[in-house]
Amino acid sequence: MADFKELLVWQRSRALVPTLYSATGNFPPSERTGLATQIQRASVSISANIAEGSARHSLRDQARCYRIALASAREVESLLLLAGDLYLIHSRRREQLLAELNQIQRMLSGLIRSCVRRPATSRR
């Protein structure tokens, strides 16, 4: 079992959480329990599912957790786009966050591919 704390994708997704909390902290009160909370929860889910996946014994189970993390990253992406449409987040900040999310998504896709391609008897 790999230590999830050593995975760069986990480190980056974890570092993204406080940034997203900060970015959504200025949302109007009506959105703090709506869109802001949804962005925050989905962002936490990314790193949590990476950690869970690293503890799974089968590559299939690992890949499943990493796919859930990827889905959460895509959810955050969609929500940030909506926040921009609603003028709740400055376009420059949103683009920076989307760029980081894109890198995390690429890393997760690579992690998923590595689980799918490795023989079932191989384990890190």
Domain count, the chain: 1
pLDDT in tens, 11-37: 999 999 999 999 999 899 988 889 999
Report which of residues 2 and 66 the model is more confident about: 66
Q: What is the mean pLDDT of residues 53-65?
A: 92
Domain carrying residue 86: 4-117
pLDDT in tens, 75-103: 999 999 999 999 999 999 999 999 999 99
Question: pTM here?
Answer: 0.90
Residue 124 forms part of a structural domain? no
As to burial, measured by CB atoms within 10 angstroms (0-12 exposed, 13-18 middle, 19+ buried), residue 74 is middle
Contacts of residue 53, defined as CB under 8 A and 6 or more positions apart, other chains included, come to 4, 61, 62, 63, 64, 65, 66, 69
Check which CATH number belongs to the domain holding 55 and give it.
1.20.1440.60
Residue 109 forms part of a structural domain? yes
Centre a 10 Å sphere on the Cβ of residue 40 and count the other Cβ atoms it contains. 19
Report which of residues 91 and 122 the model is more confident about: 91
State the pLDDT confidence band at 122, using cuts at 50, 70 and 90. Answer: very low
Residue 65 forms part of a structural domain? yes
Residue 40 forms part of a structural domain? yes
